[in-house]
Amino acid sequence: MIIRNETPADRPRILELVAEAFATDEVPADEVVEVPLLQQLFDCADYLPGLSLVAELDGRVDGHVICTRGWIGDVPALGLGPLAVTPEAQRDGVGSALMESVIAAAEAAGEPAIVLLGHTGYYPRFGFVPASSLGIEAPDAAWGGHFMALPLAAFHSGIRGPFRYAEPFNNL
């Protein structure tokens, strides 16, 4: 497996794999909301090319993760998501490799925190904790413990307040 930065040439495949990864019996692949969200994230001012990574297996892109600029109060931070792995490559460590790589890239960039809305059984293994325990408020209080944050080396206790995602998240 190779983890690398995505390129514009990867985007059609990324959108395809995101549709595959998020499709369910109730939501067909052509209605997955993460696809238009991701298209908008690629095109917005908050897109950070160094934090959009793909997992390549045998020359094929089978996973993707992206962090975009967000804010905790007025402090720049990162919003993670979506993270997607094709169904046939799930449970093989692809998602974990993408998460570890994007966390390392965020740390190297001097970011203070990564924030996400996600599964409480998955993200704590990477050090994510309920964001409220760090004084970070969810955009929607109903998210509860699913709204999590990972404090990085640049984080300090003065970084508190409401979290704001990149603008395309407001279109969901």
Query: Domain coordinates of the chain in residue numbers?
Result: 2-171
**Helix residue ranges per DSSP H, the chain:** 11-22, 34-43, 94-108
pLDDT tens-place string over residues 43-91: 999 999 999 999 999 999 999 999 999 999 999 999 999 999 999 999 9
pLDDT tens-place string over residues 115-164: 999 999 999 999 999 999 999 999 999 999 999 999 999 999 999 999 99
Q: What dihedral angle (degrees, nearest 10) is formed by the CA atoms of 65, 68, 71, 77?
A: 60
pLDDT value at 172 more than 90? no
pLDDT at 82: 97
To the question of domain 2-171 being in CATH 3.40.630.30, the answer is: yes
Mean pLDDT of the chain: 97
Distance between CA atoms of 127 and 150, rounded to whole angstroms? 6
Region label for 163, one of left (φ > 0), alpha (ψ between -120 and 50) or beta (otherwise):
beta
pLDDT at 109: 98
Share of the chain above pLDDT 90, in %: 98
pLDDT at 92: 94
